[in-house]
Structure 1
Amino acid sequence: MTERPRGAVSRTTDTFTVGPSHLSWDGKSLTINVNEISVPIPGRLRGTIRLVPTAITQQAFLLNGEGNHQWWPIAPCARVQVRLDHPRLSWQGDGYFDMNHGDAPLEQGFADWQWSRGTMQDGTAILYEAKRRDGSRVDLAMTFDPNGRMQAFEPPPTVDLRRTGWRVRRSIHSDGAAKLVKTLEDAPFYARSVISAKLFGEPVTLMHESLALDRFKMPVVQAMLPFRMPRALR
């Protein structure tokens, strides 16, 4: 998450480089070579992440009426292999790859959002809801099979979860009770969590994101960002 100047960023048809880290696509898999310094306690983060999608989707979704924010679930179903040299860690499992694209700051268009993704018996389920600044809402609920075929569905009721240590709101759609398994990231305006819920009567473990953009644009939070997102000269 290091901020780098324009000269440190380059891309070709199959590669994308940011400082000492880069991504490359060989037609079948995406390889991410990471070489960074962690914060707030400096430490080397170096290794390789390889993502192998079962299919690539072609549909992106407009998130507002102006059309200046889009979300593309590029590879809803995938396998991921992680091998880190520093720290020395490795694991593999089900994965996912998406992209958000915008021509305006997120905080101008949205107040908050809740997003979650989980592996089902026959593919992937994704839930995406956001509150726009004009008071309208984004409500997306869909499944993807391993071939990338999408099916929209009516989401079950919303279940409120315990707020984070920074008091960021968390909620999830579930057929019944939902449980907060673990908080992975707890920041003043953002949380990433593991949630246990139920969809289509099937137990599912969801990776969940909460984003509070009213918090994000507060001057005190903006002043804190460089301590978690350092700015490099090259």
Structure 2
Amino acid sequence: MSDDGRQGLTIIAFIGSVFSPYYGWSIDKDPFAHCAMNVVLYGSPSRFAMTERGAASLSRSADHIAIGPSAMHWDGTALTVRIDERGAPVPHRIRGTVRLEPRGFTGGPFHLDRAGRHRWWPMAPSSRVEVAFDQPDLRWRGSGYFDTNDGDEPLAAAFSRWTWCRADLPDGAAILYDVQHREGGGQNLSLRFSADGSRREIRPPAAAPLPATSFWRMARETRSDDGRARVLATYEDTPFYARSLLASTLCGEPVRAMHESLSLDRFRNPLVQLMLPFRMPRPMA
């Protein structure tokens, strides 16, 4: 999120694209045959790209991953992401560079399910980001976050839904993660990290209701110190996913939090699966 709160972005490198209908329809379920660099720009202008590519478009090493014409590289100090994508369904070009400098690293991953098949590591919850795009013409600096996820089965096999949010604090960041397990019950992770990545104690905030999204009526909720939160902007309103900017209070501080809601029950709907290729194209070659 930019320092002025007017711009934001999400970049995800997928090996085994968990939201890919092609991956779900495939027989061999080879993750390397279903890779994508997902790029979303929030604010004005807004952009979305998630072109799926096969194994021949993937290269990777300990400090580098490239998927098609886009790549990420770690130099020991910063992660540099070079983006060259085309949006869908509107084919706007998205070309530029993002540099993320972590202020510190956390200790290791968390398990999101009881069986330990799904792992999440908020590796650098407090980072600085510099964005420079030529297409569209966009320059800003702001706060950032870097995490990794991996799993041994489809997300919908383990979870029915989740909500997640992250907020900057004066001395680091807070992250809230609520997951509902497919088999019943759930898990709440209420985390606070200092800027250097060390974990600090946090009392789990109270549940805070939020209005559903205006178009697809995606359910949203979060947590806050006083059980209240407000939606400042809705950046993505889709049949199974919403991303929003919230105003709330965490750890005694007024914060702006980036928030997401995901319904895997909706994602599994056959009609939703048939809609996905319009947003997630896969070239024939």
1:71 aligns with 2:123: no
3-state secondary structure, aligned to 1:155 = coil
1:154 aligns with 2:183: no
What's 1:142 paired with?
Answer: 191
For 1:174-219, what per-residue CA distance to the aligned partner results, in whole angstroms no more than 9, with x for missing partners?
1232110000111100000000000122101000000000000000
Identity %: 47
Shift of 1:57: 1.9
Of 211, 219, 224 in structure 2, the residue corresponding to residue 174 of structure 1 is 224
- Normalised to the residue count of structure 1, the TM-score between the two structures is 0.97
Distance 1:152 1:201 in 2: 13
What's 1:110 paired with?
Answer: 159
1:43 aligns with 2:114: no
Using CA pairs below 8 Å that are at least 6 residues apart, which structure has the higher relative contact order? Answer: 1
What's 1:198 paired with?
Answer: 249
1:214 aligns with 2:265: yes
Distance 1:140 1:233 in 2: 41
Distance 1:205 1:122 in 2: 15
The Cα RMSD (Å) is 1.0
Counterpart amino acid of residue 240 in structure 2: F
For 1:122-173, what per-residue CA distance to the aligned partner results, in whole angstroms no more than 9, with x for missing partners?
1100000010011121210011101110124222211111101211110111
Distance 1:4 1:173 in 2: 37
Distance 1:50 1:70 in 2: 25
Distance 2:265 2:201 in 1: 30
Q: Which moved more, 1:116-125 or 1:174-183?
A: 174-183
Answer whether contact 1:191 1:210 (CA < 8 A) is retained. yes
Distance 2:104 2:277 in 1: 37
Counterpart amino acid of residue 205 in structure 2: P
Distance 1:68 1:200 in 2: 31
Query: Where does the alignment leave 5 or more consecutive residues of structure 1 unmatched?
Result: none
Distance 1:153 1:168 in 2: 28
Distance 1:78 1:156 in 2: 24
Distance 2:160 2:201 in 1: 24
3-state secondary structure, aligned to 1:231 = coil
Distance 1:127 1:57 in 2: 15
Distance 1:88 1:62 in 2: 40
Distance 1:146 1:201 in 2: 17
Answer whether contact 1:5 1:232 (CA < 8 A) is retained. no
Answer whether contact 1:111 1:132 (CA < 8 A) is retained. yes
Distance 1:154 1:101 in 2: 27
Counterpart amino acid of residue 188 in structure 1: P
Shift of 1:64: 1.0
For 1:50-85, what per-residue CA distance to the aligned partner results, in whole angstroms no more than 9, with x for missing partners?
000011223100111221100000111100011100
Query: Where does the alignment leave 5 or more consecutive residues of structure 2 unmatched?
Result: 1-49
Q: Which moved more, 1:152-161 or 1:28-37?
A: 152-161
Counterpart amino acid of residue 200 in structure 2: Q
Answer whether contact 2:95 2:136 (CA < 8 A) is retained. yes
Answer whether contact 1:4 1:233 (CA < 8 A) is retained. no
Counterpart amino acid of residue 209 in structure 1: E
Answer whether contact 2:234 2:244 (CA < 8 A) is retained. yes
What's 2:44 paired with?
Answer: none
Report how many residues are paired. 234
What's 1:8 paired with?
Answer: 57
